[in-house]
Chains A and B, each alone.
Chain A
């Protein structure tokens, strides 16, 4: 089913309009210093810059309604009210354009928990099914990128429906578009594009190889297969975690910017004070917050920020891989590094946890 089409640079807006027919397209847009995913108007020239915030909110909104409750006075017994729950949700067919492979792989990390776990999450499932992911392969490595350590890569297709690779220069600039899934194939077909010839397909391969080489030159790829066990060995090393978390402000920015962080809270909200109508919401939550595990008794298993950082790193590089066939739940996008106000660097934690143990294998 994998086939390739060619989109000339000047044709991109038109091709996107065709691909997105009947769907809301989310594409990168500049807002102040940030590049964020926002609904795109037909004909709008999309920004090709790497977004500072991942597109995870399109499928997993920052806050969403699980259901509404409507209380009504019981006509037979006015002292009492009955409750009706309404779990109708509006889910619009959507298309995400211009995320990077690390962004798309984030959805795959979600899928394993939200779709393939013991309970399927119907809200996530409905949005995921309704959303086509059109990803832009990277032709330039950022200084904080380390996707090649984590099983991801600048042309990884995991989680994507279509992969676009920028090829050519100047007047000859364009994109090779490859359908990754059947759904992606159908969308790509609809755009009525010429086939990508062999020369252009080769050019796309060359871009992949060159970006991969640039990443390798920046930092050698690491084998993280021993990291889950190594991190567990480090579990009780409080000096290590205190040292790592010294600067951390517990602001949680790292988790909100992360394409793989998927934790949430559930809270109720009322319309007005009479409690007759309202809704149950779920909202992004994060394990860097001091209240995340606080129990009603006041006991908090992760009282200090060192313990919370240990959980964040441990979850991504140890617990998740142990539960999911070695898949690391970090895609090396580097957003938590660039977005952290005090430059806490997850790479450093992973390397030091692993290396310190390598020096003293029996420690």
Chain B
């Protein structure tokens, strides 16, 4: 590979390599297959990388992210929220937050995007085998959990009890409706939904996630809790898990940082010596406790 970027004697134009392994900044061009309006602010894109060989050989683990881009607008970080056990497409669910996300919301099937993936680390799904799993997702934080949950459901025998607590502000802010319906109907997992304010006809729970979690009181014995959501939800959910005697090592979460390169070079996403794009985004609470407090 170095040959491709070594300038030839006398030649002043050097072509840098193409493809992710050669040039980590060069995205794969991908096509939007399908879009789903999940909530008023969250839209799901299902995409396939155009190069069939690339798509065929694409591998990732649950929790890994990608830089998704719209050429001419920019790049942003999203978790690949389809599971690696279903590789017909890569799914990203995007909450409208700013410039890139608003533009991504405007895409239709057939449109082109750029994908730099997979980036970052992943949930320790191997170490979680044989354990009971408690998922706690808030808002768009359900996206990374979806990947892991679907992976576990596709390998159901490997895991113990699976509990899901999914909260959103209002019923219409709940994403992944079809999945949620299916999860509610499954006998091999316990699904609880909650909203901050419940309308009359809401058949599920009302109240903030940490309160509902204390009520559900999942056992800490041989369990792992996996959380994802806004910083404030994480903070109080961790407190609730502590009350339920979960150890720091039994709590897993993902961190958000403003990322650009995604490969540990641009220097943007550090917390002390850790780079969220390389050492994360998945951390145990025990690891977070040892980081400088800059969350």
Contacts of B69 in A (CB 8 A): 268, 280
Nearest-CB residue, chain B, relative to A129: B6
Q: A298 — nearest CB in chain B belongs to which residue?
A: B97
B294 is an interface residue with CB less than 8 A from chain A: yes
Q: Which residues of A contact B97 (CB under 8 A)?
A: 296-297
Minimum distance in angstroms from A83 CB to a CB of chain B: 4
* CB <8 Å contact, A319 and B16: no
Asked if B17 CB lies within 8 Å of chain A CBs, one says: yes
Q: Which residue of B lies closest to A292 (CB)?
A: B268
CB interface residues, A 93-142, toward B, < 8 Å: 93, 113-114, 117-119, 121-123, 125-126, 129-130
With a cutoff of 8 Å between Cβ atoms, the chain B residues found around residue A264 in the complex are 260-261, 265-267
What residues of B have a CB within 8 angstroms of the CB of A314 in the complex? Answer: 272, 292
Closest beta carbon of chain A to B294's beta carbon, Å = 5
Chain B hits for A66, CB < 8 A: 25-26
A319 close to B273 (CB less than 8 A): yes
Q: Is B187 an interface residue (CB 8 A)?
A: no
- Determine whether B257 belongs to the interface, using a CB cutoff of 8 Å to chain A: yes
Would A122 and B5 be within 8 Å (CB), given that A89-B16, A268-B72 are in contact? yes
Chain A, Cβ-Cβ closest to B5: A126
Residues 54 to 78 of chain B near chain A (Cβ within 8 Å): 69, 71-76
| Structural contact, A117 and B71, CB atoms closer than 8 A | no
B92–chain A nearest beta-carbon distance, Å: 15
**Interface secondary structure of A, over-half rule:** mixed
In the complex the two chains form, what is the Cα distance from A71 to B260 in whole Å?
Answer: 23
Check A80 against B111 for contact (C-beta < 8 Å): yes
Question: Contacts A88-B13, A113-B265, A295-B257: A119 and B273 contacting too (C-beta < 8 A)?
Answer: no
Contact residue among B5, B264, B294 (Cβ-Cβ distance under 8 Å from A129): B5
Which among A117, A292, A294 is the interface contact of B265 at CB below 8 angstroms? A117
Query: Is B27 among interface residues, defined by CB-CB distance under 8 A?
Result: yes
Among B14, B114, B231, B257, chain A packs the most CB atoms within 10 A around the CB of B14
Q: Let me know if A123 and B268 touch, CB within 8 A.
A: no
Q: Answer whether residue B256 sits at the interface, using C-beta atoms and an 8 A cutoff.
A: yes
Q: What chain A residues lie within 8 Å of B268 (beta carbons)?
A: 263, 265, 285, 292-293
Contact with B along A257-276 (1 / 0, CB 8 A): 00000111111111000010
B228-270 near A? 1/0 per residue, CB < 8 Å: 0011000000000000000000000000111011011111111
A69, B292: Cα distance in complex, Å: 40
Also in contact, A122 and B12, with CB within 8 A (given A77-B110, A292-B268, A322-B273): no
Q: How far is the CB of B33 from chain A (nearest CB, A)?
A: 13
Q: Tell me the smallest distance from the CB of B255 to a CB of chain A, in Å.
A: 10
B40 on the interface (CB 8 Å rule)? no
Kindly state whether residue A340 has any CB partner on chain B within 8 Å: no
Q: Which residues of A contact B76 (CB under 8 A)?
A: 296
| Contact between chains at B266 and A263 (CB < 8 Å) | yes
B292, A119: Cβ atoms closer than 8 Å: no
For the complex, give the distance between the alpha carbons of A262 and B268 in Å. 10
Q: Tell me whether B256 and A295 are in contact (CB under 8 A).
A: yes
In the bound complex, residues from chain B placing their C-beta under 8 Å from that of A225 are: none
The answer to whether residues A278 and B71 also contact, given A89-B14, A130-B7, A266-B266 and a CB cut-off of 8 A, is yes
- A81: interface (CB < 8 Å): yes
Q: A264-B266, A322-B273 are in contact. Are A235 and B112 (CB under 8 A)?
A: no
Report the count of interface residues on B (CB-CB < 8 A): 57
Q: Does B53 contact A (CB under 8 A)?
A: no
State whether the Cβ of A197 lies closer than 8 Å to any Cβ in chain B. no
Chain A proximity mask over B105-133: 1 for CB below 8 Å, otherwise 0: 00000111010000000000000000000
Are B265 and A119 within 8 A (Cβ)? yes
Per-position binary interface string of chain B over residues 262-295, scored 1 when its CB falls under 8 Å from any chain A CB and 0 otherwise: 0111111111110000100000000000001111
Does B10 make an interface contact (CB < 8 A)? yes
CA distance A314 to B74 in the complex (A): 30
Q: Are A119 and B263 in contact (CB under 8 A)?
A: yes
Shortest distance in angstroms between A298's beta carbon and chain B's nearest beta carbon?
9
Closest to B263 in A: A119
Which of A89, A232, A262 lies in contact with B267, CB distance below 8 A?
A: A262
Residues of A within 8 A of B10 (CB): 22
A346 to B140, CA, bound (A): 41
Closest residue of chain A to B111, judged by CB?
A80
Asked if B52 is at the interface of the complex by the 8 Å CB criterion, the answer is no
Q: Is B181 an interface residue (CB 8 A)?
A: no
* Also in contact, A85 and B27, with CB within 8 A (given A129-B6, A302-B294): yes
C-alpha spacing A55/B114, complex, angstroms: 33
| Docked-complex contact A79 and B110, CB < 8 angstroms | yes
CA distance A22 to B230 in the complex (A): 56
**A-B residue pairs in contact (CB < 8 Å), sample of 27:** A22-B10, A67-B26, A77-B110, A80-B110, A83-B29, A85-B26, A85-B27, A85-B114, A89-B15, A90-B13, A92-B12, A113-B265, A113-B267, A121-B24, A122-B5, A122-B23, A123-B16, A232-B272, A264-B260, A264-B266, A266-B260, A266-B266, A275-B72, A293-B258, A296-B76, A314-B272, A318-B272
Q: A126-B16, A282-B25, A295-B257 are in contact. List 19 more A-B contacts (CB 8 A).
A: A85-B29, A87-B17, A88-B16, A89-B16, A90-B12, A113-B265, A122-B5, A236-B293, A266-B74, A278-B71, A296-B258, A299-B231, A301-B271, A307-B294, A311-B294, A314-B292, A315-B270, A322-B273, A323-B273
